[in-house]
Structure 1
Amino acid sequence: MAAILLTAGCSGAASEPGPGAAAPSVPVATPTGAPELAVEVLAEGFEHPWDVVQAPDGTLLVDERGGGFTAVLPDGAVREVAADLGDLFAEGETGLMGLALDPAFADDRRLYSCQGATSGEVQVIAWTVADDWSGLTRTDDPLVGGLPLNERSGRHGGCRLEFAPDGALLIGTGDTATGSAPQDPGSLGGKVLRADPVTGEVTVWTSGHRNVQGLAVRPGSGQVFSVEHGPDRDDEVNLLADGANYGWDPDGGGSYDESVPMTDPSIPGAVPAVWSSGQPTLATSGATFVTGEQWRGYDGLLLVALLKDQGVLALRLDDAGAVVEQFQVPELDDAYGRIRTVQQGDDGALYALTDNGDGDRLLRITPRG
């Protein structure tokens, strides 16, 4: 797995268009004062990688939906990380999914994963990471259980993890293609949950979601944004608020009616999205805020990975969270295929995972000059 430096905008992994792919509805552009970006392949050969986190020592940990963890060490060495995944349910859109490192990871070596389980649920597992990154040991198994799972197809399994500014572990769940779930207060599907990372106690924070694929905390503001897939229209970015309902209600008398609006205005208090793709969808996924003076014109933007539109969407938000500018990052547009996750590391660089199914890559993105 050699690390190689690629020139901006050069061709990478073969394109893999999603169903109904169409011309981009968001312009490809570079913001005023923004640097050119360098894209480096740190590791490749993954199969459907889902998430990446960076530890304080600089090590990157990647998981794959079908099972497996890989560490990329600061010296560039790539190694498999042993872990007990014997009860993993991996089917369709569900498998080994979101990752989060404990805010005190440097002291407690604690890692969280969200994954399908053969017991018929989605679970959040807490692990302890070996000092040398050779293996993971389950410590809370599960920390959170009872998240719904579509055992027939694995459809709409969620499941993104992120720490809130107050220390709660946020869990974005999918509706499992069950029409009643998003509006049912007794269901944990189609929700964003708040969990105590020590006890696993869970409360429903927001409802009315379809399939949460991204969570991002805006630095310095306390604002949390979710990213979710629409059906054949209206992928959404939402600004989350305690108790808010984001309006997805596909319950068609016991069926799953995907013809309804992503935000149904007939639902009292339904909160409209701060950004919507319209038609066609872009298949939005993982998201992160990028910060740092070295990023110049990119500083402060919300970046969203795109699967069907194969790149990264950039959104500039005002203080209230409204979108004032949007574009697709040119160096990543149609250059590496589908992007599952984009994440800013502790070192200030951006890390992205492709999701083309075979020979997928971990990318490191930095500003030139």
Structure 2
Amino acid sequence: MMTKHKFLGVIFFILISCKNNLVVVPDSPYSISQDSFTMDTIAEGFVIPYGIAIVGDDEYFITDRIGKLFHFQAGNLTEIGGMPGVVTFGTPGLRAILHGGLMDISLHPHYADNSWIYISYLSDDGHAKVARFKVNDQMATQFEPIFTSRSENYTGNGMRIVWEDEDHFFLNLGNSNWSTSTNPVMNAQDLHDDAGKIHRLLADGSIPADNPVLPGFTGPTSIWSYGHRDVQGLYFEPSTHTLFGLEHGPKGGDELNLIEKGKNYGWPLFSYGINYDGAPVSMISEDSAKTFTVLPEHYWTVPTNSGGQAIAPACLLKVDDSNIPDWNGYFLLGSLAYRRLMKYNRQTGETSGLTIEGRVRTIKQLPGGDIIALIERNDLRKANGFIIRISH
């Protein structure tokens, strides 16, 4: 059932950036637009809606982390059969569904001609995988795994699929294992481990010849960049040919990075965050990190009056030609911790947020200019996730 909410002169909490660190100004009014906009709940009943592939303004494919794929068209929601087995509740437990399951979904850039759909998932054999398939009569057909991680017992994290062009796509595999300066977990720095990396692959899953040749290798691998903790948002800007990564820190240290070929992004050697128990993470100083790693363009730390939480970013989108003029040219990101849809200004470093009744997992822009967002609730064992459409 569709639920409609009307907003006039929307009230925001604005986060003011100071030297790339954020301070919360409680109850500070900020109007995203002088005009009204609506937020419509267009589908519900998901546990953790995670990925969405846009076919058209009123047709989408949506993944649920519990292992289900849905087709939404003209208000009707239908489950697609033939999905692979994934790590979910009880295998090995709640942590698996928090960091694994059926993850992202993306259409091949020439989907209208070839019908290929791509998904990422944490397979029930413990490996992170990407597969492609087609849909016929609400069933997955020609199902073909095209990438399998070398790492077993992988915990998921991120696994976003973003297309560079019709031949190449990026895939991020996180590495948010507990790491401290005295007991570091070095997977993200290990070039023989796929975790903590952004990978670049051809449409058939093979390795591009122009991928970087990393230390210790004689030829290119799938790894495009490394030293990542947990990239949750991945966005490619065609006009500038720039890949942006939005990354979870531990406690604070959430980052926006410009992803460059073959570069090291520092985890767990250096972070602006600390661990959840207050223990330091960084093993080296900022000055040392500058000499061989790429520091973030922007980072968020834990505000003093936030209850001990950073923003916990979940997705990233640059808005262009939307139906909400004040959002055009800005980045939108989802905040899991603050339960907000947040707007980030790269020029000023300011971040503002619209409170949402749930954790914002994914944001996409529809062809007609509306914004669509996937929302999960607090109780991950119930089917109470939903999808909203934001329009002028």
- TM-score, normalised on structure 1? 0.82
Please state how far the C-alpha of 1:243 moved relative to its aligned partner.
1.3
**Corresponding residue SS for 2:158:** coil
1:8 corresponds to 2:7: yes
CA contact (8 A) 1:208 1:245 kept: yes
**CA, structure 1 residues 236+36, in 2 after alignment: closer, same or farther (shift >3 Å)?**
farther
Determine the C-alpha separation between the residues in 2 that align with 1:263 and 1:281.
22
Please state how far the C-alpha of 1:150 moved relative to its aligned partner.
3.5
CA contact (8 A) 2:109 2:166 kept: no
Matching residue of 2:375: 354
Determine the C-alpha separation between the residues in 2 that align with 1:206 and 1:52.
25
Determine the C-alpha separation between the residues in 2 that align with 1:198 and 1:143.
6
Determine the C-alpha separation between the residues in 2 that align with 1:291 and 1:135.
34
Matching residue of 1:150: 153
**CA, structure 1 residues 122+204, in 2 after alignment: closer, same or farther (shift >3 Å)?**
same
Please state how far the C-alpha of 1:158 moved relative to its aligned partner.
2.8
CA contact (8 A) 1:286 1:340 kept: yes
46-55 or 260-269: which moved more?
A: 260-269
- Return the structure number with greater relative CO, CA threshold 8 A, min gap 6: 1
CA RMSD of aligned residues (A): 2.8
Please state how far the C-alpha of 1:260 moved relative to its aligned partner.
1.7
**Corresponding residue SS for 1:70:** strand
**CA, structure 1 residues 296+106, in 2 after alignment: closer, same or farther (shift >3 Å)?**
same
Determine the C-alpha separation between the residues in 1 that align with 2:63 and 2:161.
13
Aligned residues: percent identity? 23
1:67-99 residue CA offsets vs partner (Å, 9 max, x unmatched): 1011110x21111111232x2122241111111
Please state how far the C-alpha of 1:149 moved relative to its aligned partner.
4.8
Please state how far the C-alpha of 1:43 moved relative to its aligned partner.
0.4
Specify the structure having the higher radius of gyration (Cα).
Answer: 2
Matching residue of 1:100: 106
Determine the C-alpha separation between the residues in 1 that align with 2:362 and 2:29.
19
CA contact (8 A) 1:125 1:138 kept: no
Please state how far the C-alpha of 1:223 moved relative to its aligned partner.
1.3
**CA, structure 1 residues 123+274, in 2 after alignment: closer, same or farther (shift >3 Å)?**
same
Task: Please point out which of 315, 318, 326 is paired with 1:286.
Answer: 315
Matching residue of 2:298: 275
Residue type of the partner of 1:135? M
Matching residue of 1:181: 187
Determine the C-alpha separation between the residues in 2 that align with 1:69 and 1:78.
10
Please state how far the C-alpha of 1:351 moved relative to its aligned partner.
1.0
**Corresponding residue SS for 1:324:** coil
**CA, structure 1 residues 197+165, in 2 after alignment: closer, same or farther (shift >3 Å)?**
closer
Determine the C-alpha separation between the residues in 2 that align with 1:124 and 1:5.
36
Determine the C-alpha separation between the residues in 1 that align with 2:311 and 2:368.
29
Please state how far the C-alpha of 1:212 moved relative to its aligned partner.
1.2
Determine the C-alpha separation between the residues in 1 that align with 2:72 and 2:25.
35
Determine the C-alpha separation between the residues in 2 that align with 1:299 and 1:238.
21
Residue type of the partner of 1:145? T
**CA, structure 1 residues 199+338, in 2 after alignment: closer, same or farther (shift >3 Å)?**
closer
1:121 corresponds to 2:121: no
1:194 corresponds to 2:206: no
Residue type of the partner of 1:365? I
CA contact (8 A) 2:6 2:36 kept: no
- TM-score, normalised on structure 2? 0.78
1:196-246 residue CA offsets vs partner (Å, 9 max, x unmatched): 112433521111100111101225221111111111111111111111211
Aligned length: 334
Determine the C-alpha separation between the residues in 2 that align with 1:37 and 1:219.
28
Matching residue of 1:80: 79
Determine the C-alpha separation between the residues in 1 that align with 2:298 and 2:284.
12
1:234-288 residue CA offsets vs partner (Å, 9 max, x unmatched): 111111111121111269xxxx997324996334321111121111411101111
Residue type of the partner of 1:230? G
**CA, structure 1 residues 191+46, in 2 after alignment: closer, same or farther (shift >3 Å)?**
same
**CA, structure 1 residues 260+345, in 2 after alignment: closer, same or farther (shift >3 Å)?**
same
Residue type of the partner of 1:30? S
Determine the C-alpha separation between the residues in 1 that align with 2:227 and 2:29.
31
Determine the C-alpha separation between the residues in 2 that align with 1:102 and 1:117.
22
Determine the C-alpha separation between the residues in 2 that align with 1:125 and 1:353.
22
CA contact (8 A) 2:110 2:166 kept: no
Matching residue of 2:44: 44
CA contact (8 A) 1:165 1:222 kept: no
CA contact (8 A) 1:226 1:240 kept: yes
Determine the C-alpha separation between the residues in 2 that align with 1:363 and 1:126.
27
**CA, structure 1 residues 80+312, in 2 after alignment: closer, same or farther (shift >3 Å)?**
same
1:240 corresponds to 2:241: no
Matching residue of 1:171: 171
Determine the C-alpha separation between the residues in 1 that align with 2:318 and 2:49.
21
Residue type of the partner of 1:45? G
**Corresponding residue SS for 2:326:** helix
Please state how far the C-alpha of 1:5 moved relative to its aligned partner.
1.7
Residue type of the partner of 2:294? V
| Equivalent residue runs for 1:200-279 within 5 Å | 200-201=206-207, 203-249=222-268, 259-261=280-282, 265=286, 266-267=288-289, 268-279=291-302
Q: Which runs of 5+ in 1 are unaligned?
A: 10-22, 318-322
| Equivalent residue runs for 1:27-66 within 5 Å | 29-31=30-32, 35-56=35-56, 58-66=58-66
Residue type of the partner of 1:366? S
**CA, structure 1 residues 161+147, in 2 after alignment: closer, same or farther (shift >3 Å)?**
farther
